[in-house]
């Protein structure tokens, strides 16, 4: 089967500012894929182009085999969309809006089952506008998946979630991906979340994908250089290297024994990510 | 438009209508705002007579308020609702759903028609009970004028709603012109009280013609002494309202399509940010 999402040489300009400068992406069917990047990197822009809400400046894009700029209702019925900020349908009831939107699809989830799955059974009769931030976000997720989409887009879905809700949300997504074979593309700022949830992650910085792969591959790819410090002739010396173990061995040889004040610091994945973002910016 | 979108749209419109009826504040505004003010006016000047005729002001005002209800719902309430739906992201939500925009538009129309129907009934009842107005003597004319008058202004209201930046601007931009038309269009005061230049301007807008058509259905011919040309001019009523309807129907789909196509999450976020900081 073809890839769920395939993007080649995607470019996007807002006026003179080029936000995307040749993005390449390939998301497989059934995969949970995260797009990671700092504020303003172009995550929302990318995802909106894939959703067919924004026209690109250049490049080839195929989402479930269709160019989003030409996607009709049949194509749209296969997508689920959770945007970064929803405030809509405030006067509707929680269950009422889920039931209403489910009617647009051929084989929707049962509204009550869905309420239970996102933990909103107690709020079924409540007005949408009175939900707390995290509850509202859960409703958004429910509305995103009500039509049993083949492909679900989530733009920063877990902002405003407490740790427990976040955990439940991760489990829900994993279940949906495993049971229904749903493909998920989500954006986040949170490296830890990406590492935990995603089969694969791409990092978007400076308008390009600067790293992409499984958590382990990513860790290797972004691993920043380690810093080796020691004392020599009463002064502190430092050295940055990809291979700190080798550097330490060479130092021991040179000193013919223990190296005074030897210190090796291997940066964490998070520090490495921050450095990668810094390098690209 | 497919059958499913139409069916969901009708249900949606009805659901939103019921939400308005259940909302206590909304209900109070409607009751006090339309029926209450109207009843007070009737009690105050309802017994006077329209100058030069033996028609009571109560009867005259009943037809006038009816015309104004249709007009203000279509050209004020509808644009504000559209602008609010855009700002809140309701329009965008329906864009994410197959057939959602069609269902949305159907729903808006249904809600509007329900509201017009409820308010019209309320005004008619108030006019009859408080103002002692007789029921219309010409029901067919009443119905076609109400329907054609609605069709004349609803697409126009939708078009205006698409052009407005937001719901707050809607109130500010639309409020004064609406008041102006209300005073000059002969629905609150006979149009022949106005200077001739104002009469000409009033006749360019659909409110005057709708008011005239409704008066034809309600009032005795004695009222003709205070009408332009001394006639009900019903063929003109039909022609002018139809012309406005056609103009609106040509304009509205273009604008609605433009607005719904452009809607996206980041645009929404931008607008919400702008609204917060202003
Ligand atoms: N409609 C627009 N017109 C002009 N510039 C825009 C528009 N939308 C986004 N941008 C700019 O494009 C860049 C990328 O924005 P985008 O919203 O895609 O970033 P993001 O990665 O989603 O950021 P965040 O993490 O803050 O959500 C930003 O610099 C933004 O200011
Ligand atoms: Mg974003």
A100/B8 Cβ within 8 A: yes
Residue A15 within any structural domain of the chain = no
Residue A33: strand, helix, or coil: strand
**Residues 6 or more apart whose Cβ sits within 8 Å of residue B53:** B222, B223, B225, B226
A100/B265 Cβ within 8 A: no
Cβ–ligand 1 distance for A19 under 6 Å, the answer yes
Among B97, B107, B167, the residue to mutate for chain A (most A Cβ within 10 A): B97
Cβ–ligand 1 distance for A177 under 6 Å, the answer no
The whole-angstrom distance between residue A203's C-alpha and the CA centroid of its chain comes to: 9
Residue A242: domain span: 225-265
B271 and chain A: CB distance < 8 Å anywhere?
Answer: no
The 3-class SS string of chain B reads: CCHHHHHHHHHHHHHHHHHHHHCHHHHHHHHHHHHHHHHHHHHHHCCCECCCCCCEHHHHHHHHHHHHHHHHHHHHHHHHHHHHHHHHCHHHHHHCCCCHHHHHHHHHHHHHHHHHHHHHHHHHHHHHHCCCCCCCCCHHHHHHHHHHHHHHHHHHHHHHHHHCCCHHHHHHHHHHHHHHHHHHCCCCCCHHHCCHHHHHHHCCCHHHHHHHHHHHHHCCHHHHHHCHHHCCCHHHHHHHHHHHHHHHHHHHHHHHHHHHHHCCHHHHHHHHHHHHHC
Q: Rounded to whole angstroms, how far apart are CA atoms A222 and A210?
A: 9
The distance of B86 to chain A (nearest Cα, Å) reads 9
Per-residue pLDDT band for B148 (boundaries 50, 70, 90) equals very high
Q: Rounded to whole angstroms, how far apart are CA atoms A46 and A7?
A: 10
How much is the pLDDT for B272? 66
Cβ–ligand 1 distance for A43 under 6 Å, the answer yes
Strands A32-36 and A200-205: parallel
The whole-angstrom distance between residue A124's C-alpha and the CA centroid of its chain comes to: 29
**Could you tell me which chain B residue has the CA closest to the CA of A72?**
B98
- Which of B15, B268, B272 lies nearest to residue A100, judging by beta carbons? B15
Per-residue pLDDT of B104-147, as tens digits, reads: 989 999 999 999 999 999 998 998 888 888 888 899 999 999 99
Residue A240 within any structural domain of the chain = yes
**Could you tell me which chain A residue has the CA closest to the CA of B9?**
A100
Residue A236 within any structural domain of the chain = yes
Contact assessment for residue A149 and residue A4, using Cβ atoms and an 8 Å cutoff: no
From first to last of its 281 residues, chain A has per-residue pLDDT tens of 579 999 999 999 988 889 999 999 999 999 999 999 988 899 999 999 999 988 899 999 999 999 999 988 899 999 999 988 788 999 999 999 999 999 999 999 999 999 998 889 999 999 999 998 888 988 999 999 999 999 999 998 887 788 888 888 888 888 888 888 899 999 988 888 888 889 999 999 989 998 899 888 887 777 778 889 999 888 999 998 888 889 999 999 998 889 999 999 887 777 777 777 776 55
Per-residue pLDDT band for B57 (boundaries 50, 70, 90) equals confident
Contact assessment for residue B148 and residue B242, using Cβ atoms and an 8 Å cutoff: yes
Q: Inform me whether the pLDDT recorded for B8 exceeds 60.
A: yes
How much is the pLDDT for A48? 92
Residue A18 within any structural domain of the chain = no
Cβ–ligand 1 distance for A104 under 6 Å, the answer no
For a pocket test of ligand 1, which of A13, A15, A37, A45 has the largest count of ligand atoms closer than 8 A to its C-beta?
Answer: A45
CA of B261 to the centre of ligand 1 (A): 19
Per-residue pLDDT of A79-129, as tens digits, reads: 999 988 788 999 999 999 999 999 999 999 999 999 998 889 999 999 999
The distance of A137 to chain B (nearest Cα, Å) reads 14
B84 and chain A: CB distance < 8 Å anywhere?
Answer: no
Q: Rounded to whole angstroms, how far apart are CA atoms A59 and B150?
A: 47
Say which DSSP state A259 is in: P
- Which of B11, B23, B93 lies nearest to residue A86, judging by beta carbons? B93
The distance of A121 to chain B (nearest Cα, Å) reads 21
For a pocket test of ligand 1, which of A15, A44, A159, A281 has the largest count of ligand atoms closer than 8 A to its C-beta?
Answer: A44
How much is the pLDDT for A159? 79
Per-residue pLDDT of B191-206, as tens digits, reads: 888 899 999 999 999 9
* Buried residues in B168-190 as b, exposed as e (16+ CB within 10 A): eebeeebeeebeebbebbbbbbb
Atom 16 of ligand 1: nearest residue by CA position: A42
Retrieve residue A279's tokens.
């390098």
Q: Rounded to whole angstroms, how far apart are CA atoms A78 and A5?
A: 13
Q: What is the ipTM of this complex?
A: 0.81
**Residues 6 or more apart whose Cβ sits within 8 Å of residue A52:** A63, A68, A69, A71, A75, A76
Q: Span B259-278, mean pLDDT?
A: 67
Residue A128 within any structural domain of the chain = no
Cβ–ligand 1 distance for B266 under 6 Å, the answer yes
Cβ–ligand 1 distance for A40 under 6 Å, the answer yes
Question: Which residue is listed with tokens 């029921």?
Answer: B135
Question: Which residue is listed with tokens 């709603």?
Answer: B161
CA of B83 to the centre of ligand 2 (A): 24
Residue A13 within any structural domain of the chain = no
Residue A243 within any structural domain of the chain = yes
How much is the pLDDT for B277? 62
Q: Span B45-63, mean pLDDT?
A: 83
Say which DSSP state A107 is in: S
Retrieve residue B27's tokens.
């209900």
Does the pTM of the predicted model rise above 0.90?
A: no
Question: Which residue is listed with tokens 């205006």?
Answer: B160
Instruction: Please give the order of strands across the beta sheet that includes A58-63.
Output: A17-27, A5-14, A58-63
Residue A251 within any structural domain of the chain = yes
Say which DSSP state A214 is in: S
Q: Span B81-105, mean pLDDT?
A: 89
């Amino acid at each position: 089967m073809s890839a769920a999402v395939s993007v080649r040489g995607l470019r996007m300009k807002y006026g003179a500012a080029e936000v995307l400068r040749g993005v390449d992406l390939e998301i497989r069917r059934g995969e949970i894929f995260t797009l990671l990047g700092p504020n303003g990197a172009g995550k929302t822009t990318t995802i909106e182009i894939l959703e067919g809400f924004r026209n690109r400046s250049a490049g080839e894009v195929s989402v479930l085999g269709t160019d989003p700029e030409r996607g009709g209702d049949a194509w749209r019925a296969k997508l689920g969309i959770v945007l970064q900020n929803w405030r809509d349908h405030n006067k509707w009831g929680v269950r009422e809006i889920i039931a209403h939107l489910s009617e647009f699809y051929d084989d929707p989830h049962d509204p009550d089952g869905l309420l239970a799955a996102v933990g909103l059974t107690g709020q079924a009769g409540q007005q949408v506008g009175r939900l707390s931030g995290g509850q509202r976000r859960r409703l958004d997720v429910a509305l995103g998946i009500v039509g049993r989409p083949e492909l679900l887009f989530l733009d920063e879905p877990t902002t405003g979630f407490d740790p427990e809700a976040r955990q439940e949300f991760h489990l829900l997504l994993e279940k949906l991906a495993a049971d229904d074979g749903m493909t998920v593309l989500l954006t986040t700022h949170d490296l830890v979340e990406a590492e935990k949830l995603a089969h694969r992650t791409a990092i978007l910085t400076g308008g390009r994908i600067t790293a992409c792969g499984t958590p382990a591959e990513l860790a290797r790819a972004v691993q920043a250089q380690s810093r080796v410090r020691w004392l020599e002739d009463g002064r502190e010396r430092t050295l940055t290297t990809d291979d700190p173990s080798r550097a330490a061995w060479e130092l021991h040889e040179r000193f013919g024994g223990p190296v005074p004040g030897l210190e090796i610091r291997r940066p964490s994945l998070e520090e490495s990510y921050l450095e990668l973002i810094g390098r690209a910016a | 438009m497919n059958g499913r979108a139409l069916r969901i749209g009708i249900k949606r419109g009805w659901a939103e209508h019921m939400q308005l009826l259940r909302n206590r504040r909304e209900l109070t505004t409607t009751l006090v705002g339309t029926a209450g003010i109207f009843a007070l006016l009737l009690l105050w000047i309802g017994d006077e007579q329209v100058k030069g005729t033996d028609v009571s002001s109560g009867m005259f005002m009943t037809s006038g308020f009816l015309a104004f209800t249709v007009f203000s719902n279509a050209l004020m309430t509808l644009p504000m609702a559209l602008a609010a739906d855009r700002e809140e992201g309701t329009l965008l939500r329906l864009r994410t759903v197959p057939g959602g925009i069609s269902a949305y538009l159907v729903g808006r129309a249904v809600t509007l028609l329900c509201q017009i129907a409820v308010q019209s009934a309320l005004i008619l009842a108030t006019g009859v009970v408080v103002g002692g107005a007789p029921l219309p003597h010409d029901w067919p004319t009443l119905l076609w004028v109400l329907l054609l008058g609605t069709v004349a202004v609803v697409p126009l209201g939708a078009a205006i709603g698409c052009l407005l930046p937001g719901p707050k601007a809607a109130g500010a931009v639309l409020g004064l012109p609406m008041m102006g038309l209300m005073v000059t269009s002969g629905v609150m005061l006979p149009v022949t009280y106005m200077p001739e230049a104002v009469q000409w301007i009033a006749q360019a807008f659909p409110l005057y013609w709708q008011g005239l058509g409704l008066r034809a259905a309600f009032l005795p011919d004695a009222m003709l002494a205070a009408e332009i040309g001394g006639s009900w001019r019903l063929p003109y009523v039909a022609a002018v309202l139809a012309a406005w309807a056609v103009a609106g129907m040509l304009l509205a789909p273009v604008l609605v399509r433009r607005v719904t196509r452009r809607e996206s999450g980041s645009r929404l976020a931008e607008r919400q940010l702008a609204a917060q900081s202003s």
